[in-house]
Amino acid sequence: MNSTDDADLPVTYRDIERARDRLDDESVVKRTPVETSTSLGELVDADVYLKMEHLQWTGSFKTRGAYNKICQDTDRGVTSFVAASAGNHAQGVALAATKCGADSTIYMPENAPQAKVDATRGYGATVELVGKDFQETMRHAKEAVEGTDAEFVHAYDDPDIIAGQGTLGTEIYHDCPHIDTLIVPIGGGGLISGISTAVKHLSPDTRVVGVQATGAQTVHDSLDKGMPVTLDEVDTIADGIATGGISERTLRIIKRNVDEVVTVTDTEIAQAILLLLERAKQVVEGAGAASVAAMLSDDLDVSGETVVPLLCGGNLDMTRLQTVLVHALTARQQILRLRIRIDDRPGTLEDIAGTIADYGANIHDVRHDRSVDDLEIGEAYLVFRVETSGEEHAAAIVDAVEGTGYVVENIAATIER
C-alpha cells in the first residue's frame, strides 16, 4: 500500500524539507549529478539515468543524515559523538562532527577496508577497530557511550538520519521528475526509508525498488514475520549494505513506501562494478553497484521505462577492486583456468603453451600438480591461468587444446551466492 499521507510514519516529507534547509552548505553536502547512460539503457531497453551520489564529498550519501542529526545535537550542547560503521557512515559522522566543532569516535569492524579507515581518520575522527562484523562492532560502540555525555549516531535507526538521507529523493525527483522506477540499495533501510518517503510524496506512481545482496538479505523475512530479522552472519562483497539487519522504524517505512525488494548475488554485483567502469567510466563500490545489478537481473523488468539506479557509494578499496575484477573477468571467461591431464614428460608444457599462444591468448601463470589421488604414476595436471577476450575466444582455446588429444577441464571459480 502506498500513500502520500505520511503523518503516521516516523519520518515525514516535512522532516525531509527541514533537513534540506540544514544541508545548504556545499562544503558539507553537494548536489550530485544525474547522468544519462545510453549504453546501460540499451542493455535493458529503457531510459537509464544514473544518480551519481558516489561523487559526494565523502564518497557516499551518509553525510546527509549524519550532518542533519549532528548539527541539531551540537546546537543543543552535545560535543562528542560515537558511531559504528563499516566505512561510509563513519566518514559521514567524522566530517559532520568536525564541521560542527565536535569530537567523534568511530568503531569499525576489524576487516573494514583500509581506505575507509584512513579516510575516516582524515576527516578528524578517532577510529577503533573492534569486532568481526557490523553487529559486533555496533555492540562495542553502544557500550562505549554508556555513562558518558557522548551521543550515539546510529547508521539508520534515527529519524534525523532518515530525513537527511531523504534529501536524495527530492534531488532525484527534481532532476528527473518522470521516473517510472527508482532502484535503491538496502542495508539497514535508512536510505530507502528517506528516499521513498520523499519520492512517494512527490510522485506516488513512481515504483520504488529496494535491492539487497543475497548474503545479507533481511527485508523479505522481516516483512513476512512482521518484525525486523537480524542475521547472525553476513557474506557479501558489498560491505556498505552488509548490516545484517533493519530496524522496526525502517521496516515500517519500507512496508508502506517500497513497492518491491529484489536480491542480487555477489557475482552480479561484481559484474555491475566492472560494467560501470567500462561503460559509465565510474568507480563504484559494491553497495552502489547493487542497484545496477538489480536493473540488469532477470527479477526486474524495466523495459520501456525511465529508470534511475542510485549509485550510493564510491569508496572502493583497491584490494577489493582487484578481487572484484578477477571474479568478474572469470565469470566472463576473460580469465580462464584450465586443468589439463598430461603424461608428465619433457616438452608437454611447451606443446600446450604453444597451442594456446597460437590463439593469441596470454598465459598469466602455470603450475604442475603431481600429488593428486586420481592420477596414475607418470601423470600430472597442468593448471593454466589464461587471459582471453571473452567466451568465444575461451571456447576456441579449449577446443584447440582438446583437439591435440588432451582432456581439458575449466576450473574457473565464480563467487555466485
In this prediction the pTM is 0.88
> For residue 194, what pLDDT band results from cuts at 50, 70 and 90?
very high
Local confidence band at 205 (pLDDT 50, 70, 90 cut-offs) = very high
* Residue 78 within any structural domain of the chain: yes
* Residue 27 within any structural domain of the chain: yes
Indicate whether 233 and 251 sit together in one domain.
yes
* Sign of the CA dihedral with 395 first, then 398, 402, and 408 last: negative
Burial (CB count within 10 angstroms: exposed 0-12, middle 13-18, buried 19+), residue 118 = exposed
Does residue 342 register a pLDDT over 90? Answer: yes
CB 25 within 8 A of CB 71: no
pLDDT at 232: 86
Q: What percent of the chain has pLDDT over 90?
A: 83
pLDDT at 132 over 90: no
pLDDT at 416: 38
Q: 216 with 265, same domain?
A: yes
110 and 51 both lie in a single domain:
no
- What sign does the dihedral 276-44-38-305 (CA atoms) show? negative
Let me know whether 52 and 182 are in one domain.
yes
Question: What pLDDT shows up at residue 95?
Answer: 97
Indicate whether 336 belongs to any domain. Answer: yes
Region of poorest pLDDT, from 29-38, 104-113, 181-190, 366-375? 366-375
In contact, 133 and 112? CB cutoff 8 Å: no
Flag whether pLDDT at 301 surpasses 50.
yes
Strand pairing of 362-369 and 407-410? Answer: unpaired
User: Dihedral sign, CA of 209, 213, 217, 220?
Assistant: positive
- Does residue 157 belong to any structural domain of this protein? no
pLDDT at 2 over 70: no
**For 382-410, what is the mean pLDDT?**
94
pLDDT for res 417 = 36
Q: 264, 282 in Cβ contact below 8 A?
A: no
CA dist 220 to 97, 207, 335, Å?
Answer: 35, 18, 35
Q: Domain boundary at 300, 328, 356, which?
A: 328
Q: Does residue 5 lie within any of the structural domains?
A: no
Cβ proximity of 406 and 351 under 8 Å: no
Residues 195 and 286 in one domain: yes
pLDDT at 134: 77
- Mean of the pLDDT values across residues 342-361? 94
Structural domain boundaries, residue 117: 62-152
Mean pLDDT over 363-386 rounds to 90
Give dist(CA 311, CA 324) in Å, integer: 17
Instruction: Give the span between the Cα atoms of 28 and 412, in whole angstroms.
Output: 45
Average pLDDT of 38-65?
97
pLDDT-derived band of residue 4, with 50, 70 and 90 as boundaries?
Answer: low
* Residue 336: all three cell numbers together: 580462464
The amino acid sitting at 186 is I
Helices 62-75 and 159-175 sit at what angle, rounded to 10 degrees? 130
What is residue 157's three-state secondary structure? coil
Read off the pLDDT of each residue in 263-274 and give the average, rounded to a whole number: 95
| Mean pLDDT calculated for residue range 104-122 | 91
Determine the average pLDDT of the residues in 6-28: 94
Looking at 268, 300, 328, the residue that finishes a domain is 328
Question: What average pLDDT does the segment 378-398 reach?
Answer: 93
Angle at 164 between CA 175 and CA 261, to 5 degrees: 75
Whether residues 43 and 83 share a domain: the answer is: no
Please tell me whether residues 342 and 321 are part of one structural domain. Answer: no
> 131, 152, 173: which is the final residue of a domain?
152
Task: Report angle CA 252, 255, 260 to the nearest 5 degrees.
Answer: 150
Q: Is 127 helix (H, G, I), strand (E, B) or coil?
A: strand
Q: To which residue does cell 525502517 refer?
A: 250
Contact 216, 232 (CB under 8 A): no
Claim to verify: residue 97 and residue 198 sit in the same structural domain: no
Whichever domain contains 132, its CATH number is 3.40.50.1100
The total domain count for the chain is: 3
Q: So what's the pLDDT on residue 284?
A: 96
Average pLDDT over residues 221-241: 91
Residues 320 and 183 in one domain: yes
Distance between CA atoms of 194 and 157, rounded to whole angstroms? 11
User: How high is the mean pLDDT of the chain?
Assistant: 93
* 33-47, 76-90, 291-305, 322-336: least confidently modelled range: 322-336
Same domain, yes or no: 140 and 205: no
Asked whether residue 6 is assigned to any structural domain, the reply reads no
DSSP conformation class of 361: P
Is the pLDDT confidence value at 54 over 80? yes
Helices (H), 311-413: 318-331, 348-358, 391-403
Q: Looking at the structure, tell me whether residues 112 and 243 fall in a common domain.
A: no
* Position with higher pLDDT, 264 vs 115: 264
Q: What's residue 415's pLDDT? A: 36
pLDDT score recorded for residue 374? 85
**347 domain residue, yes or no:** yes
Same domain, 261 and 115: no
pLDDT at 353 over 70: yes
CATH code (residue 360):
3.30.70.260
**158 lies in a domain?**
no
